[in-house]
Structure 1
Amino acid sequence: MAKTFFVTGTDTDAGKTRVACGLLAAAKAQGFSTAAVKPVASGCEATAAGLRNSDALALHEQCTLSLVYEQVNPIALAPAIAPHIAAAQAGRVLSVDRLAGLCRGVMMSRADLTIIEGAGGWRVPLNPSENLSDLARLLELPVILVVGMKLGCINHALLTYEALVRDGIRVAGWVANQIQPDMAVYAENLATLKARLPAPLLGEVPHLAHPSAEAVAGHLDLAPLALAG
């Protein structure tokens, strides 16, 4: 059965792409087909082929379906700033309806696992009246929350979870991603999150010297996502 999940984070640089690629790599290792979409990406570099985003390229690499880059990252913006500001500077207008159509185009390929990765945290503006979170709501997607393990992560995680629930979103699971190798009282923070987040813990990703998708996959559990169901 084809499953699609929206991956969001507690903040920018929480490790959404690292975890998303790990999930895709884990699915590939189990023989599942995979696809991914990074509908909006800012911080893109100019190349001979056009604007390219490193996160979107990493996701593209983990897709077993034959997708062109523009399907994985349809909206590429050069400045590494908030998407709605980058779009305004480029004279472009972002809308949830358009992004939903672009995502549905990939979802119609019906990979066993499709990951749609957000930008920044949960409540990222697209335009004066819409947020990227509205995309997950419109597509009625369950969300995987990536918690960047650092000082303040408990507050960020709990507030994000509250916002997800308030938006009517089903949280399929969460991942603890250790972005600081020497985080103080890591175990105690993790224990608090386990006690306070009523969703399955899909894995703990330690701080890795070489965080390849395959290395991250080894720390993730796909079972709660019921891909084989």
Structure 2
Amino acid sequence: MNTIADTWDWLTTASHWAGDNGIGNRLLEHLFLTAVCLGLSCLIALPVALVLGHLGKGGALAVNISNIGRAVPTFAVLVLLLLSPIGSYGSWPTIIALVLFAVPPLLTNAYVGMRGVDQDVVRAARGMGMTGRQVLWGVEVPLALPLVLTGVRIAAVQLVATATIAALAGGGGLGRIITAGFNLASTPMVVAGAVLVALFALVVEGVCELGQRLSPSWARGGT
């Protein structure tokens, strides 16, 4: 019970929210890192998934290869990158490790969404004279969008939770609060950092869910 009270006291202390090491700045760093990694992951995974899903070839192999990344701990990838020549390039080891972690759900959901499009609709579109590009962007992508957005939401929440490893490589983010708490043997500080990460992940989940609910019905899989 004392730990809960001490953690609350730590979180409600104004000085802990200000400055370069304050919660406010660490939260912005965490948000920036998550956004950058999510953006890069989408740029890598979504074009591959959409094209392979449209062609109907090679997608299963690409999904299986990307899913191998789920079996490899992100921390292990980060350590290997830090020990490699890439380790001297600032935040890039962390970014690469997180991008590799976020690609599988994006690729899998987008590909499954594309392959789940009703083929009768696709054939009807082709029968109307639509080109392959028009079928892709005018028919398949809109119908697959609900699963694509679900993959983005899953990746975003996972990145928020996993971006705490940036602190292990000297980066910023809420993970720095947790590591600082361990260094200072401050249990309330460690718990506070963990609580902040969990709350941030819930907020991101809620924002993504709200955005999908407020989107047009076709983006939600409606009619």
Greater helix content: 2
- With structure 1 as the length reference, what TM-score do the two structures score? 0.21
Determine which structure has more spread, i.e. the larger CA radius of gyration: 2
Greater strand content: 1
